[in-house]
Amino acid sequence: MVGYILGLGDRHGENILLDASKGDCVHVDFNCLFNKGESFDWPERVPFRLTHNMVAAMGPTGTDGVYRKACEVTMRVMREEREALMSVLRPFIHDPLVEWSRGNKSAKNTGEIKNEKAVSNVSKIESRLSGQNDKKSRGLNIPLSVEGQCNILIEEATNIDNLAQMYIGWAAYM
């Protein structure tokens, strides 16, 4: 859920490691943040990596047991702590060292440089935290409950049509 909120992409098998001593998943390679994966030649179609092999490894309950509950708890905490999270992310808009600030810039009346792409990405995070669905094709874009948002994200992440359109190197078949 945290990866979805931050737009963390490029989550193939070499970027998600397993801590053999504890069984924890450890993410590495954070070069693909803020929905950068949506601009690839083969855009990412899923909100996070959740292939059929991963679901099978969850046991008989699959995504409907502990996994779903953990997703809901995580999303609920992020929503409750939205202001703290956004206070960490908003400064990225004005950070000259962040990659997106080298591109599309426009000057504000105050003389401060503002990047529309940065503002758009931070706004997308805020809307995700409020339960807005990225996929407008589902009809009205009204805020979803935590449970509803997690359900839609899990459905999109496991949808075989979405996985089939991923870049072959992403290994969605695994």
- Reported as a pLDDT band with limits 50, 70 and 90, residue 99 is low
Domain membership of residue 132 as a residue range: 2-170
Helix/strand/coil (H, E, C) string of the chain? Answer: CHHHHHCCCCCCCCCEEECCCCCCEEECCCCCCCCHHHHCCCCCCCCCCCCHHHHHHCCCCHHHCHHHHHHHHHHHHHHHCHHHHHHHHHHHHHCCCCHHHHCCEEECCCCCEEEHHHHHHHHHHHHHHCCCCCCHHHCCCCCCCHHHHHHHHHHHHHCHHHHHCCCHHHCCCC
- Residues forming a β-bridge with 106: 114
Percent of the chain residues topping a pLDDT of 70: 81
Determine the Cα–Cα distance for residues 18 and 13; give it in Å rounded to an integer. Answer: 10
Mean local confidence (pLDDT), 73-94: 91
| CATH code of 108's domain | 1.10.1070.11
CA count, 13 A, side-chain hemisphere, 38: 14
137, pLDDT greater than 70: no
Mean local confidence (pLDDT), 84-104: 72
136, pLDDT greater than 60: no
What pLDDT score does 48 carry?
87
Does the pTM surpass 0.85? The reply is no
For the chain, how big is the Rg over CA atoms in Å? 17
- Reported as a pLDDT band with limits 50, 70 and 90, residue 96 is low
Mean local confidence (pLDDT), 71-96: 90
Determine the Cα–Cα distance for residues 141 and 128; give it in Å rounded to an integer. Answer: 11
Mean local confidence (pLDDT), 65-89: 95
Q: How does pLDDT run across 11-57, given as a tens digit for each residue?
A: 777 788 888 898 888 888 877 778 787 777 778 888 888 888 889 98
What is the chain's mean pLDDT, rounded? 81
Determine the Cα–Cα distance for residues 17 and 7; give it in Å rounded to an integer. Answer: 19
Cα 124–chain centre separation = 10
Cα 69–chain centre separation = 18
Structurally, how many domains does the chain consist of? Answer: 1
**Sign of the Cα pseudo-torsion (73, 75, 76, 77, in order):** positive
What pLDDT score does 18 carry?
83
